Amino acid sequence: MIHTRRFGEWFELTLPHDWEGFSVDYILRDLWKAPKKQIHFMRMEKHIKINGNPLIDWNHSLKAGDRLQLKLFREEDFGVQPAYREVEVLYEDDHMIVFNKPANMDTHPNTPDQTNTLANAAAFLLQAQGEHRKIKHVHRLDRDTTGAVLFAKHPLAGAILDSMLEERLIKRTYLALVHGRMKAKKGTIREPIGRDRHHATRRRVSPKGQPAITHFELIETYPKQNLSLIKCQLDTGRTHQIRVHLSHLGHPLAGDLLYGGKPIFDHQALHAEKLEIPHPFTKEKITCIANSARHHPWTLYR
C-alpha cells in the first residue's frame, strides 16, 4: 500500500519503490490519466511540490521516498445546490464517497432547479462537514435502481476513478429479481444497446448500438412466484443495460414496466449490492456492501 497523508489543502504521497525513476509528468499523464487541461492548471497555479519545494522540472526522475505534494483540497463551488436527504454512507475518505442510494431518487439533477437527487444530498453532507468542493458522480444508477454509487471529491480523484471504471478495475455487482425460471446457472450477454426510436427513454438491443456485456449467475428460483434471483456483473455501463439485456433474454425484471415486467413491486427489482474499488492513490482495495433490505420488499425472497 502507498503511504499518503493530508495537511490542509495539500495531499502528500510518499513515492513507493516501484515508482523509482518516474517523473511527475509521467505519473499525472500515464499513471493517473489526468486530463491535459487539469495538468495545465496545476502547472500554472504551482499546485505541485516535491519534498516541500515547488516543482521546476516536470520530467525529473524521482526517487523512492520522495514526497509528492499536490494541492487538491481547495474550496470551490459544489456544482449543485446542497439539499438534505437521508442517505446512508458506505465509505468516505478525503478523495471519494460511496452512498447507498434509495429508490425514487436520481443520481444527479436533470434540470438546474432539481434538488432531490443524490448529488444534492452529497453536496449537503460535504457542506455540513465544512468541505466546499465540487462533487462528481463516477457512475450512475437509474432513478428506481438502489444501491452503491461512487462520487469523487476532487477533479484528480475523479479522473483516476473514471479511468479505472473504463478499464474495468472497478467491479460492480447487482442483484436482480426476474420473471420466469431461469434455466442457465450462469452466462454472459454480449448484445449492443442503442436507443429505441419509438420511445424517448427506452433502450433496446440493436446491431448499431454500443457494445454491452453483462455476466449473470443464478442464485435461486421461486417456482410458486415464477421468479428467479440472479447476480449480475457489468463490463460496460450502458443506460438500462441490465434491464435491456435480461428483458432480451425473456426474463424482464420484476416491477420493470418499461421492459415487460409485471407490476408486482412499485419499481424494478434491481439493486447495486457491491462495489469494489482500488483506491485511486493508496491502491488499497475498498469493498462496499449496500444493504438491500433497507429499500426492497423483494429481497425477502433471498
Residues labelled catalytic:
142
Q: Are the beta carbons of 85 and 105 closer than 8 angstroms?
A: yes
C-alpha cell at 258: 418499461
Instruction: Decide the pairing of beta strands 96-101 and 203-205.
Output: unpaired
Q: How far out from the chain centre does Cα 293 lie?
A: 21
Q: What is the 3-state secondary structure (H, E, C) of the chain?
A: CCCEEEECCEEEEECCHHHCCCCHHHHHHHHCCCCHHHHHHHHHCCCEEECCEECCCCCCCCCCCCEEEEECCCCCCCCCCCCCCCCEEEEECCCEEEEEECCCCCCCCCCCCCCCCHHHHHHHHHHHCCCCCCCEECCCCCCCCEEEEEEECCHHHHHHHHHHHHCCCCEEEEEEEEECCCCCCEEEEECCEEECCCCCCCEEECCCCECCEEEEEEEEEECCCCEEEEEEEECCCCCCHHHHHHHHCCCCECCCHHHCCCCCCCCCCEEEEEEEEECCCCCCEEEEECCCCCCCHHHHHC
Q: How far out from the chain centre does Cα 221 lie?
A: 29
CA distance 225 to 223: 5
